[in-house]
Amino acid sequence: MKVKIMGSGCPTCKALYEKVKKLAEEGKIEATVEYSSDINELINEGVMGSPAIMIDGKIVKVGKVSDEQLYKILGIN
């Protein structure tokens, strides 16, 4: 799967990206992980908040996310 974290470049957005990247590096998810701080990309996707999680081209969550929510979104038991 392709996971993209989109945000303004704030610490919350960057921390979420690092967390998802670490999950992939540890083999807990099979994914390529990207980060975008391009505000125009957020606007084009219709996202009015951040961070946003996009999986395979679809926005699945906007705003702060707990570890439990993140694991559910990523399919980690």
Q: What is the pLDDT of residues 9-44, one digit of tens each?
A: 999 999 999 999 999 999 999 999 999 999 999 999
Distance in angstroms between the alpha carbons of the first and the last residue of the chain = 17
CATH numbers and ranges of domains, the chain: 2-74 (3.40.30.10)
The first and second tokens of residue 53, run together, are: 């999680």
Q: Report how far apart, in Å, the C-alpha atoms of 25 and of each of 18, 31, 52, 63, 64 are.
A: 10, 9, 21, 24, 22
Rounded to two decimals, the pTM is: 0.92
Collapse the DSSP code of 10 into the 3-class scheme (helix H, G, I; strand E, B; otherwise coil) and give the result.
coil
